[in-house]
Amino acid sequence: MILVSYGSRGVVELPDGRRSECRFRRSVGRPYCGDRVMVEAADEHSTVVTAIQPRANEFLRAGARQQKQVIAANLDQVLIVVAPAPEPNRDLIERYLVAIHSLSIEPLIVLNKSELAGTGTATDGSPLGRLDEYRSLGYEVLSTSCKGPPGIEALLPVLERKISILVGQSGVGKSSLVNALLPDLELQTGELSRVTGKGTHTTTTTIMYALPCTGKLIDSPGVWEYGLWEMRQPELAAGFIEFTPWQGLCRFNDCRHAGEPDCAIREAAARGDIRAWRYQSYLRLLDQGC
């Protein structure tokens, strides 16, 4: 499995746990962090990637022009980190959820800095006041703090034997969570640097680390702020999982669920079968072109 990928080289973890510097053949293409690959020995200390195995998924973010950029591959879950300060805007979690669902990866919501919850006045419509509603939709919501109880213990079982990545806006404590989850972070970074002999450029490179709980954690500077790529309307609607029972029941096959007559989803929202605030969030994201 690829732990680090930069330029035409990277670091691969071999089946026996050893780590080797590897070179990417131009004919094979560039693998990403998390890719499962086939390698062959190049010399005593390095290998060559001869094939990239089919990916279960790709974790993406938006580039400068909203084009898709691959960050990593073969993730099991994405942890969406929010906090009371800075308070997330009203559609932030929906943006994350829509994107993660479109990538066929499992989302999970983490309220970090939970010791601050209830100490301030949340703005009207804040996602922080709706965490129980996210739970009722089927999303797992966990509380953490890097400054005291409840600590990070709630994360440990969900990270076990899985490949995970943390996303969240600046200031929510993502780096503090990474440091708490990886007490040997500097040791692992140093080992990767030793393998390559050139350093790993940890401030700009996506790296996969081994967690003490046997899972893997991908740390990527590229997802401090997570932008959505340009998304088609069906992808957007599919990201609102409670729309599913009414998908395909509208009068028009190309219904955008934005005011068309006999729209099953709009009618479900009017009846209360779909939460009004979630439907309004969908309409705002649709209007913004997502």
What is residue 230's predicted lDDT score, i.e. its pLDDT? Answer: 76
Q: In what order do the strands lie in the sheet with 37-41?
A: 37-41, 46-52, 19-24, 9-13, 2-6, 207-210, 216-219, 163-167, 77-82, 106-111, 141-143
Question: Among 63, 73, 61, which Cα is nearest to 32's?
Answer: 73
Residues 134 and 215 in one domain: yes
CATH, residue 63? 3.40.50.300
What is residue 149's predicted lDDT score, i.e. its pLDDT? Answer: 93
Residues 62 and 38 in one domain: no
Residue 25 lies inside a defined structural domain of this protein? yes
Residues 38 and 23 in one domain: yes
Residues 219 and 237 in one domain: no
What is residue 189's predicted lDDT score, i.e. its pLDDT? Answer: 86
Between CA 129 and CA 124 the distance in angstroms is 9
What is residue 224's predicted lDDT score, i.e. its pLDDT? Answer: 46
Residues 29 and 155 in one domain: no
Domain that holds residue 103: 58-223
What is residue 204's predicted lDDT score, i.e. its pLDDT? Answer: 65
Residues 206 and 105 in one domain: yes
User: pLDDT tens-digit profile of 112-160?
Assistant: 999 998 765 556 678 999 999 999 999 999 999 999 999 999 999 999 9
User: pLDDT tens-digit profile of 77-98?
Assistant: 999 999 999 999 889 999 999 9
What is residue 276's predicted lDDT score, i.e. its pLDDT? Answer: 96
Residues 161 and 116 in one domain: yes
Residue 189 in tokens: 């970074």
Residue 155 lies inside a defined structural domain of this protein? yes
Structural domain count, the chain: 3
Residue ending a domain, choose from 194, 223, 252: 223
Encode the chain (290 residues) as per-residue pLDDT tens digits.
999 998 889 999 999 999 999 999 999 999 999 999 999 998 877 899 999 999 999 998 877 677 788 889 999 999 999 999 999 988 999 999 999 999 999 999 999 999 998 765 556 678 999 999 999 999 999 999 999 999 999 999 999 999 999 988 889 999 999 999 999 988 888 888 888 766 555 556 889 999 998 899 998 875 645 566 778 899 999 999 999 999 999 999 999 999 999 999 999 999 999 999 999 999 999 998 75
Residue ending a domain, choose from 192, 223, 254: 223
Residues 218 and 245 in one domain: no
Residues 200 and 160 in one domain: yes
Residues 8 and 74 in one domain: no
Question: Is there a contact between 285 and 98 (Cβ–Cβ < 8 Å)?
Answer: yes
Specify whether the backbone of 104 is left (phi greater than 0), alpha (psi in -120 to 50) or beta: left
Residue 228 lies inside a defined structural domain of this protein? no
Q: Phi, psi (5° rounding) for residue 76?
A: -95, -35
Residue 7 in tokens: 């330029």
CATH, residue 30? 2.40.50.140
What is residue 7's predicted lDDT score, i.e. its pLDDT? Answer: 84
Q: Is the peptide bond before 150 cis (omega within 30 degrees of 0)?
A: yes
CATH, residue 274? 1.10.40.50
- Specify the pTM: 0.90
